Amino acid sequence: MRHDAIEHLVGLLSKLPGLGRRSARRAVLRMLQDPPTRMLPLAEALTAAASAVRPCQLCGNLDSTNPCRVCSDPARDQDVICIVEGVAELWALERAHAHHGLYHVLGGLLSALGGTGPADLSIQPLMARLAEGKVREVILALPATVDGAATAHVLAERLAGTGVQITRLAQGVPIGGALDVLDDGTLAAALKSRRAI
């Protein structure tokens, strides 16, 4: 029987994004050099996270408290909601310390090819949050892709009747980005939205 403890573990690890079979094997070898300090803590952390982490009932963020730490933080601006595609984007914005309001996780983007329609996204819960009347601004922090633009368009339509201000992220040259390696679309958008200095 070749399907033993090591092969099984390598197989599971290699399914993680960013880890191929080769790096999974290296990781397992490294951990096997000292299983009590390198392997068991990871097993415990996985079990703990699996039992503790749940989607936030308000915004859809993943956290070990529910509502999540963002939603339950009274210091956050309660009147600004930033709409994101997924939890990864929410975490990225949190790391940037750029947004001091709340979030709403859509759980995807509208996609004709992928067969994702409005009912598949967390739009109804968003409308319910807005119906409470406390929100002044909704920021559409969606990717500058075809699906992102389509989703922003549909959301803007749905939100038009609520009286809430709708904004979107600025598009232009990334900080630190060299102009000669930028794609034409970004260059054109940056030029069109140029600002006086």
Strand partners, 116: 111
User: Does residue 46 touch its own copies according to CB under 8 A?
Assistant: yes
Instruction: Say whether residue 76 binds its own copies (CB under 8 A).
Output: no
45 scored as a contact of its own copies (CB under 8 A): yes
160 near its own copies, rule: CB under 8 A: no
Is residue 100 at the binding interface for its own copies, with CB under 8 A as the rule?
no
Interface segment toward its own copies; rule CB under 8 A; list 85-93, 135-143, 145-153, 156-164: 85-93
Q: Does 30 bind its own copies (CB under 8 A)?
A: yes
Judged by the rule CB under 8 A, the positions of this chain that interact with its own copies are 4-6, 8-9, 12-13, 15-19, 23, 25-32, 35-36, 38-53, 62-65, 69, 86-88, 91
